[in-house]
């Protein structure tokens, strides 16, 4: 399994409950049928006005295959972002528990 954590920050004028709700709905719909993606977390607040979304994939190859779709969906919100999102990847052996 592969875990992808995306950390992002919105420009102050877009950092509203409405904007986060819209992002969550659009991203959840878009990723719902992504092959190899097991789950998408809710948007979670972090410190200093940053937020994170965590996605879990069956394997690294599934995550790589999903990259174009993920990028396309995030590009819809580029005008709202304060900076380029940070992306972190983690491998895991939790497959037998999910």
Give me the residue spans of the domains in the chain.
2-97
The Cα 95–Cα 9 span in angstroms is 31
Compute CA distances 96 → 1, 39, 69, 92, whole Å: 10, 16, 27, 11
Instruction: Categorize the per-residue pLDDT at 94 as very low, low, confident or very high, splitting at 50, 70 and 90.
Output: low
pLDDT of residue 33: 78
Share of the chain above pLDDT 90, in %: 21
Residue 89 CA neighbour count, 13 Å, CB half: 11
Q: Which two tokens stand for residue 79?
A: 């005008």
- Compute the average pLDDT of residues 20-43: 83
Which CATH number among 3.30.70.100, 3.30.70.990, 3.90.180.10, 3.40.50.2300 corresponds to the domain 2-97? 3.30.70.100
Q: What is the pLDDT of residues 34-59, one digit of tens each?
A: 888 888 887 787 778 899 888 899 88
């Amino acid at each position: 399994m592969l875990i992808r954590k995306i950390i992002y920050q919105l420009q102050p004028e877009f950092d509203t409950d409405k904007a986060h709700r819209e992002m969550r709905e659009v991203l959840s719909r878009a990723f719902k049928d992504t092959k190899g993606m097991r789950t998408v977390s809710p948007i979670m607040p972090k410190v200093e006005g940053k937020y994170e979304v965590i996605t879990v994939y069956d394997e690294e190859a599934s995550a790589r295959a999903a990259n174009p779709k993920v990028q396309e969906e995030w590009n819809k919100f580029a005008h709202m972002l304060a900076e380029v999102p940070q992306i972190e990847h983690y491998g895991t052996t939790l497959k037998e528990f999910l």
